[in-house]
């Protein structure tokens, strides 16, 4: 290893340049050695000083990488995660399809997920949304209730405890309260965002999309805020692998009559037999599985 190489953490990325935090806490813009940057927020890198900036020479090995992929392109969220926090709200109504896709992508990378349902102060609307999440609780998924309305603290302490000492990516649709949550947990978030924007802008009028925040002074707990998205493509997942990545399906695998069962039409299918049964597979979950299987089975050109 070159003696001039130093280690750093990517805390923001835009285009071909990244903001890297050094071991001493300094932050500087680094550019990739080649034409294309492979670094994403959360990556540990080896970098080398160059004038007042730096060059990323090599990525350190990743534990995981959460990303989505549609027919056209791949979009990485972040690397080296301990968990993903999917923030939903009682209002506006959340998409179960998007939630399922996020869970599958995280499961594919062996990343734990917290589902957090915000706006517990909304009474009947919250109860309806909470009921929609019952199948996820039944399959062992952690689901927490939260209220961030006007400084409310309901569920905040429990959530903080579950975040402590971990690197957590926050995903969620617009209107769920993602910015409010970040600002509640990281009082200096706005200042950190401004600092990162100033560093990355450098007169180029760029903005950062994914941002790393240290929650504590000891830098043991981190939140990564990711922008909202309309689609969550799973084209990197083989359709035959879907059932393995859905816990309520996975526990029934190996019990079907045919070893290569698609769980869609074959007789003697343990998955299909469990749909709608007590302690079985929720009918809506099974419908989503069928839609995803069809989507991922489409020919790719």
For the chain, the domains span 6-59, 65-225, 239-296
Q: For residue 185, give every residue at least 6 positions away whose Cβ sits within 8 Å of its Cβ, in sequence order, or none.
A: 156, 159, 160, 163, 215, 223
Distance in angstroms (rounded) separating the CA atoms of residues 8 and 32: 13
52 is in an annotated binding site: no
The model's pLDDT over 1-33, given as tens digits with 9 standing for 90+, comes to 566 899 999 999 887 789 999 999 999 999 888
- pLDDT value for 72: 82
pLDDT band for 218, please (50, 70, 90 cuts).
very high
- pLDDT value for 259: 93
Q: Identical fold at 65-225 and 239-296?
A: no
263 is in an annotated binding site: yes
Q: For residue 50, give every residue at least 6 positions away whose Cβ sits within 8 Å of its Cβ, in sequence order, or none.
A: none
219 is in an annotated binding site: no
**Residue 4 DSSP class:** T
- pLDDT value for 250: 97
Six-digit token string for 282? 């929720």
- pLDDT value for 282: 97
179 is in an annotated binding site: yes
Backbone Cα Rg of the chain: 21
Mean pLDDT, residues 229-238: 89
Distance in angstroms (rounded) separating the CA atoms of residues 243 and 262: 9
**Residue 275 DSSP class:** B
175 is in an annotated binding site: yes
Residues 61-69: contacts with CB under 8 Å, at least 24 apart: 64/109, 64/110, 64/111, 65/40, 65/109, 66/105, 66/106, 66/109, 66/111, 66/169, 67/105, 67/236, 68/101, 68/105, 68/229, 68/231, 68/232, 68/233, 68/234, 69/233, 69/234, 69/235, 69/236
197 is in an annotated binding site: no
Mean pLDDT, residues 227-246: 91
Nearest to 242 by CA among 229, 261, 255: 261
Handedness of CA 277, 279, 284, 287 (dihedral sign): negative
58 is in an annotated binding site: no
The model's pLDDT over 130-176, given as tens digits with 9 standing for 90+, comes to 999 999 999 999 999 999 887 667 799 999 999 999 999 999 988 89
Q: Which CATH class for the 6-59 domain?
A: mainly beta
Least confident of 4-8, 184-188, 196-200, 279-283: 196-200
- pLDDT value for 205: 36
Q: Which class for 157: exposed (0-12), middle (13-18), buried (19 or more C-beta within 10 A)?
A: exposed
Nearest to 9 by CA among 186, 167, 23: 23
Six-digit token string for 142? 């952690």
Predicted confidence (pLDDT) at residue 279 exceeds the cutoff of 50: yes
- Other beta carbons within 10 angstroms of residue 260's beta carbon come to 7
The model's pLDDT over 61-76, given as tens digits with 9 standing for 90+, comes to 999 999 999 888 899 9
178 is in an annotated binding site: yes
Question: Looking at domain 65-225, which CATH architecture does it have?
Answer: 3-Layer(aba) Sandwich (3.40)
Mean pLDDT, residues 233-239: 96
Q: Map tokens 């004038």 to a residue.
A: 51
30 is in an annotated binding site: no
Residue 192 sits at φ, ψ, to 5 deg, of: -65, -40
76 is in an annotated binding site: no
Mean pLDDT: which of 97-101, 183-187, 203-207 is highest? 97-101
Question: Looking at domain 239-296, which CATH architecture does it have?
Answer: Orthogonal Bundle (1.10)
Judge contact between 67 and 21, C-beta under 8 A: no
Distance in angstroms (rounded) separating the CA atoms of residues 42 and 148: 27
187 is in an annotated binding site: no
CA angle (78 as vertex; 75, 81 as ends), nearest 5: 140
Predicted confidence (pLDDT) at residue 37 exceeds the cutoff of 80: no
273 is in an annotated binding site: no
Predicted confidence (pLDDT) at residue 94 exceeds the cutoff of 70: yes
180 is in an annotated binding site: yes
269 is in an annotated binding site: yes
118 is in an annotated binding site: yes
């Amino acid at each position: 290893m070159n003696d001039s190489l130093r280690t750093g953490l990517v805390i923001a990325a835009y285009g071909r340049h990244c903001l890297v935090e050094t071991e001493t806490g300094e932050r500087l813009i680094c550019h990739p050695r080649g034409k294309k940057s492979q670094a994403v927020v959360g990556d540990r890198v080896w970098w080398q000083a160059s004038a007042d900036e730096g060059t990323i020479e090599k990525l350190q090995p990743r534990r995981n990488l959460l990303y989505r992929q549609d027919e056209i392109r791949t979009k990485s969220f972040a690397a080296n995660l301990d968990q993903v926090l999917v923030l939903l709200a009682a209002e506006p109504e959340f998409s179960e399809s998007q939630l399922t896709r996020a869970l599958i992508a995280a499961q594919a990378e062996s990343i734990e997920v917290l589902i957090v349902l915000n706006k517990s102060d909304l009474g009947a609307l919250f109860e309806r949304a909470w009921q929609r999440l019952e199948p996820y609780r039944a399959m062992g998924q952690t689901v927490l209730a939260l209220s961030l309305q006007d400084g409310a603290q309901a569920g905040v302490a429990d959530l903080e405890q579950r975040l402590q000492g971990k690197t957590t990516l926050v995903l969620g649709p617009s209107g769920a309260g993602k910015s409010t949550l970040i600002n509640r947990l990281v009082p200096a978030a706005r200042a950190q965002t401004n600092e990162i924007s100033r560093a990355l802008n450098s007169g180029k009028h760029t903005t950062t999309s994914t941002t790393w925040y240290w929650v504590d002074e000891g830098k043991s707990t981190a939140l990564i805020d990711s922008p909202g998205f309309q689609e969550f493509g799973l084209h990197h997942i083989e359709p035959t692998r879907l059932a393995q990545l859905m816990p309520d399906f996975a526990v029934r695998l190996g019990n079907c009559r045919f070893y290569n069962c698609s769980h869609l039409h074959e007789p003697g299918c343990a998955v299909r037999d469990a749909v709608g049964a007590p302690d079985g597979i929720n009918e809506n979950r099974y419908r989503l599985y069928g839609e995803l299987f069809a989507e991922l089975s489409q020919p790719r050109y």
